[in-house]
Amino acid sequence: MGDTLTYKIIRAHLVEGTAEPGQTIALRIDQTLTQDATGTAAYLQFETMGVDRVRTDLSVSYVDHSMLQAGPENADDHRYLQSVAARYGIVFSRPGNGICHQVHLERFGVPGKTLLGSDSHTPTCGGLGMMAIGSGGQDVACAMAGMPFSMTAPPVVKVHLTGELQPWVTAKDVILELLRRLSVKGGVGKVFEYDGPGAMTLSVPERATITNMGAELGATTSIFPSDEVTAGWLRAQDRAQHFRELAADPDAEYDEVVELDLASVEPLVALPHSPDNVAPVGEVAGTAVDQVCIGSCTNSSFGDLALTAALLEGRKVDPRVSLTISPGSRQVLEMIAAGGRLASMVCAGARVLEVACGPCIGMGQAPPSGGVTLRTFNRNFEARTGTPDGQCYLCSPPTAVASALAGCITDPRTLGEPPAVEQPQSFESDTAGFIFPPQDGAGVEIVRGPNIKPIPRRGPLADSLEGEVLLKLDDNITTDHIMPAGARILPLRSNIPALSEHVFERVDPDFPRRAREAGGGFVVAGENYGQGSSREHAALAPMYLGLKAVIAKSFARIHRANLINFGIVPFTFADPDDHGRVGQGDRLVVEDVPARLREGSLTVRDETGGFGFAVRCDLSDREREIVLAGGRLNLMRQTSC
């Protein structure tokens, strides 16, 4: 039996364990990336590890999230990141150079390499045939220090693509179709591997759109073969030397197979407030729109914006619609400007924003109260836009443009024949947006603004865990629920004491006060707790407030790892029905925890309700050591890793 592409790369990078689904493995990491919203915490932790220089082939620090400098906090973070990069041998992508995933795809992605990024959409580079995985910042810091990345060897889902996309249908519609079929929980713990004759019809940026939003399926990563299409893309980027052909063996066996005829896909839209709440555009056509935003790491490539410009040329945006466009990289901005496409957008009435994540991370462009915003982004969680009652829909660029012109959600097929937009034979490839580190950074002074505080820690795991249920939640709680983003809160990412005042702010604004007064406690939740962003602050800030454990029906992969890294125990209900028996405010006791963790089965006593219930805590040996130590940084200090 042959190997999948996924397991070919895993075996080539295997440091520990057996490359079989369900086994704990550790992989050598070739490249890392961070962005500024998660990077400061990652580098603060890296500094404690005593490593003089990064030990990866390449590490890049991007500034793309916290770009609004309404006070000194973001600028101070950026100055810190630039000085840390120079000190430790990291490439620094300066503000305005572009969104980390788009830029990494253009300049640094290499087929067959491993990439670990402190952003959940790191799998974007799977469109190039990389094994690109999102994780918490602490895992990235450890990888930069030369440590392998531990994970559970994943089952692999084959997505067999046939046919060809019809006019006005895009790669965004493909991934929305998969979300419609499989849900935001359908890929948890899995890798999605695309192949088939349909895959050959998709460009690298189209493939990257699909792998980017594999994160919304909950997938560990997604990957396409490295083939003639990949070779052409790398040649156009003046990086032909990085190409290598990679594909699954013809007799490879998969854990699941999904068949998808590209010709059967139609224009789709994700309705509020989840990426899997998908319907054909025709079913919601006519819904009035207040705002349309085109961009994000999902849909801000040259092809996306060249098509946008062609559709806007000679037309005007509806008077009641605010249309914004965020180029994904400096390269994209240069090329649409040089070709006159930027002028077409501006003349149509579009607002061209900074080259950055922008509205996707809630950094400006909040829609009006109760307004409908249509976005080519990857997430539409409640209040993520910055407007608590905003109604956020997700769609493709042509659907976005058609809707901006009409003033309501509109099927792009009503526009007639689509314009022809071809990928260029060569892309701009200057390096003005990068600052490369000196050969020896030992003399570089690291600059710290007053808002940058040390990473807090907790002590070793206690023999018993006692406390009240501080908050009870249902299914699909996102990291946006736990630790919101946006222009007001993102500047506090380097200051955990200040940031902790906003934990669960949009769910229960009183949570921080109650957690402090109770001396910490528990959170009880349903399925897929912690889906969404990789932000480790959604574990770090609750840990600072005294959160001891989360008891959930199931966890999202990255958030579970982040909880463990900061010493918060991730329990799962042995019987999911017990979730309904536990009430907010109940006092819980779990005794003899260290010994019971080795067995994986524990009993929780609900003293308020007068009953007990069983929970599971299935940890690898390494994860158990981390939890017992009270977090990975504590363990590293103990073992001098």
**How many other C-beta atoms are found inside a 10 Å radius of the C-beta of residue 624?**
18
Angle between helices 330-338 and 302-312 (to 10 degrees): 30
pLDDT (0 to 100) of residue 533: 87
Distance CA 102, CA 212 (A): 10
pLDDT (0 to 100) of residue 529: 97
CB burial of 567-578 (b: ≥16 within 10 Å; e: otherwise) equals: bbbbbbbeeeeb
For 141-171, the three-class secondary structure string (H helix, E strand, C coil) is: HHHHCCCCEEEECCCEEEEEEECCCCCCCCH
Tell me the CA distances in angstroms from 139 to 133, 306, 312, 315, 539, one per residue in order.
Answer: 11, 37, 43, 48, 13
Distance CA 109, CA 131 (A): 10
Distance CA 65, CA 83 (A): 18
| Residue that is written with structure tokens 């524990």 in the block | 602
**Mean pLDDT in consecutive groups of 10 residues from the start of the chain, 641 residues:** 95 97 96 95 94 97 91 94 98 96 98 97 98 96 96 97 98 98 95 98 98 96 98 97 97 97 98 97 97 97 96 97 97 93 96 94 91 96 91 98 98 94 87 95 95 93 97 95 90 94 96 96 97 92 97 96 97 98 98 93 97 96 95 83 43
pLDDT (0 to 100) of residue 339: 85
Contact 55/144 with Cβ under 8 angstroms? yes
**Domains in the chain, ordered, with CATH?**
5-264 (3.30.499.10), 268-413 (3.30.499.10), 465-639 (3.20.19.10)
For 221-250, the three-class secondary structure string (H helix, E strand, C coil) is: EEECCECHHHHHHHHHCCCHHHCCCECCCC
Distance CA 478, CA 401 (A): 29
Mention every residue, 6+ apart, whose C-beta is less than 8 A from residue 515: 470, 503, 521, 542, 545, 546, 547
pLDDT (0 to 100) of residue 641: 43
- Tokens (6 digits) for 575: 């019987």
Residues designated as active site:
64-65, 119, 379, 533, 535
Mention every residue, 6+ apart, whose C-beta is less than 8 A from residue 425: 236
| Residue that is written with structure tokens 């506090």 in the block | 492
Distance CA 67, CA 6 (A): 35
CB burial of 428-437 (b: ≥16 within 10 Å; e: otherwise) equals: beeeebbbeb
Contact 565/141 with Cβ under 8 angstroms? no
Distance CA 599, CA 618 (A): 8
Distance CA 39, CA 56 (A): 16
